[in-house]
């Protein structure tokens, strides 16, 4: 069970103060600059640092704060929402052609020999390096007689 909101808010405030101090010492950034970089109001950051407010911070604002300072958001999320390390959802898988799915299954199948897997990889590399000829239809058949 997660600690009470007050405890998490106080722990987050301590973390925010430490991050702000480090940003000031290392990068020379103040709250106003950080707020501008994150796209959030500087009163929000002051509210976090002073542990004021009735509710926990907005997860998107916390993420923007961490991204602006190029620090991992996992620490903030573990303080505020134990068990939830990220706001970002897993990216949706890219739709893949059925032939490519078959090749991927073979490449990941432990029953397929290493020789066959390497053959598939090399063939894919060769196909990837071929120039693409779009719009040009190559007709095969008997050569025409020259006039």
Q: What is the pLDDT of residue 135?
A: 59
Q: How many CB atoms lie within 10 A of CB 5?
A: 13
Per the CB < 8 A criterion, the answer to whether 40 and 48 are in contact is no
**Residue 109 — pLDDT band, cuts 50, 70, 90?**
confident
pLDDT at 147 over 60: no
Q: Which residue has the higher pLDDT, 113 or 141?
A: 113
pLDDT at 88 over 70: no
Q: What SS3 state is found at 30?
A: coil
What is the pLDDT of the chain when averaged over all its residues? 84
Integer-rounded Cα Rg, in Å, for the chain is: 28
Q: What is the pLDDT of residue 12?
A: 95
Alpha-carbon gap, residue 111 to 7, rounded angstroms: 53
pTM (whole model) above 0.85: no
Q: Which residue has the higher pLDDT, 70 or 83?
A: 70
Per the CB < 8 A criterion, the answer to whether 116 and 106 are in contact is yes
**What tokens does 25 get?**
């010492």
In the chain, the percentage of residues whose pLDDT exceeds 70 is 82
Spell out the domain ranges in the chain.
5-80, 98-129
Q: What SS3 state is found at 7?
A: helix
> Does CATH number 3.40.50.300 belong to domain 5-80?
no
């Amino acid at each position: 069970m997660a600690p009470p909101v007050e405890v998490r808010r106080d722990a987050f405030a301590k973390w925010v103060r430490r991050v702000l101090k480090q940003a000031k010492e290392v990068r020379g950034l103040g709250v106003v600059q950080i707020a501008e970089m994150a796209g959030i109001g500087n009163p929000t950051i002051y509210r976090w640092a002073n542990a004021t407010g009735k509710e926990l911070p907005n997860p998107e604002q916390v993420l923007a704060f961490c991204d602006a300072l190029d620090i991992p958001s996992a620490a903030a999320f573990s303080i505020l929402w134990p068990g939830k390390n990220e706001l970002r959802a897993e990216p949706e898988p890219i739709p893949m052609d059925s032939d490519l799915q078959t090749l991927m299954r073979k490449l990941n199948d432990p029953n397929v020999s290493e020789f066959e897997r390497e053959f598939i990889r090399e063939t894919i590399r060769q196909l990837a390096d071929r120039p693409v000829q779009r719009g040009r239809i190559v007709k095969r058949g008997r050569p025409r007689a020259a006039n």
